[in-house]
């Protein structure tokens, strides 16, 4: 157990919510524990009692009572499945946070967590964001989507104005989204463009996208790019994929279309009696929104990279893939 600490708020922490400030400095401290410390007056800012949604300013002194040192590490790192069910909304969102400023949050969405509600969905990010409603009563807004089973970068607007600008950037395709996937087999072309028309059809297992016939009603044009980063014994390939358009399940359908479905895809991976699923690889969707480059509402560009989810880290380690092989751009 450490003694009482008084920590000075740094200039780059201006306006940060106090609960987020604690998340940065003490990632192992649970949200419930923090609330208890505040209610009892053990956490103070400049000597005064505060609430978790208070905003800190440079030069302020935060009183931190003795904390279990082990707690600093226990709650950092990837979010486990049971935590998705049992942790509080604000705590989970803080764990996902990759970037925060006055206009934008960027989250690293875990695989298995829905972005919006729907049939059979009990918990989703859109509802969870109510926990981060501002003091002005403004709830953060979604500006794009990720499939439930896809992990990675999710941009959220903090204000109405920011939402309008970010939504426009997605609509006008002034964004660059990079995904990492693991697919069955190795594409013949090292890199290529995939251009098809997609249409939605209802199946016994829910809605599914398929390649449309020429001139089929209700079809949308979909364009994706891919390149092979690394391969494993010609049985598996790590693809870097970029969707130019933003259709439902686009990358997943396009991977299937070129004969190389994404490993663990519950909708589009088709069993093959002549192909054995690799041992040690989890049967979970291996598709991760790795990087985004988008105009920032305040000007300039926002570039954020999301770490791989645990099941893909396990696979990359198993196959000996080196993340540096992708030659990624630096974040700013």
Q: Among all residues, which ones are annotated catalytic?
A: 147
How many residues does the structure list for the chain? 332
With beta carbons less than 8 A apart as the criterion, state whether 169 and 295 touch.
yes
Tokens of 151: 């992990």
Which whole-number Å values give the CA distances from 234 to 60, 184, 319, in the listed order? 57, 9, 12
d(CA 44, CA 63): 5
Which whole-number Å values give the CA distances from 231 to 188, 189, 255, 278, in the listed order? 12, 13, 15, 13
Q: Which stretches within the chain are classed as H helix? A: 18-25, 31-39, 71-74, 81-86, 89-96, 125-128, 160-171, 250-257, 310-319
d(CA 280, CA 315): 7
């Amino acid at each position: 157990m450490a003694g009482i600490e008084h920590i000075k708020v740094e200039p780059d922490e201006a306006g940060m919510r106090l609960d987020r400030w604690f998340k940065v400095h003490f990632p192992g401290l649970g949200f419930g524990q923090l609330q208890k410390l505040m209610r009892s007056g053990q956490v103070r800012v400049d000597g005064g009692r505060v609430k978790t949604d208070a905003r800190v300013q440079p030069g302020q002194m935060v009183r931190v009572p003795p904390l279990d040192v082990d707690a600093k590490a226990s709650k950092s790192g990837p979010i486990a499945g049971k935590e998705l069910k049992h942790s509080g909304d604000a705590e989970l969102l803080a764990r996902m946070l990759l970037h925060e400023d006055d206009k934008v949050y960027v989250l690293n969405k875990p695989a298995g967590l829905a972005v919006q509600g729907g049939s059979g969905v009990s918990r989703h990010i859109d509802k969870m964001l109510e926990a981060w409603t501002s003091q002005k009563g403004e709830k953060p807004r979604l500006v794009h989507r990720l499939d439930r089973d896809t992990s990675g970068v999710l941009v959220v607007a903090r204000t109405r104005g920011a939402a309008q600008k970010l939504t426009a950037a997605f609509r006008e395709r002034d964004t660059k989204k990079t995904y990492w996937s693991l697919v069955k087999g190795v594409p013949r072309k090292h890199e290529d463009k995939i251009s098809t028309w997609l249409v939605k059809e209802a199946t016994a297992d829910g809605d599914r996208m398929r390649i449309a016939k020429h001139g089929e009603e209700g079809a949308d044009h979909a364009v994706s790019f891919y390149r092979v980063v690394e391969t494993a014994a010609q049985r598996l390939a790590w693809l870097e994929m970029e969707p130019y358009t933003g259709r439902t399940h686009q990358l997943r359908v396009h991977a299937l279309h070129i004969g190389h479905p994404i490993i663990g895809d519950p909708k589009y991976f088709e069993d093959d009696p002549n192909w054995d699923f690799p041992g040690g690889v989890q049967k979970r969707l291996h598709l991760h929104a790795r990087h985004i480059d988008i105009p920032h509402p305040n000007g300039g560009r926002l570039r954020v990279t999301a770490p791989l989810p645990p099941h893909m880290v396990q696979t990359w380690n198993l196959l000996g893939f080196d993340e540096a092989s992708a030659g990624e751009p630096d974040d700013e």
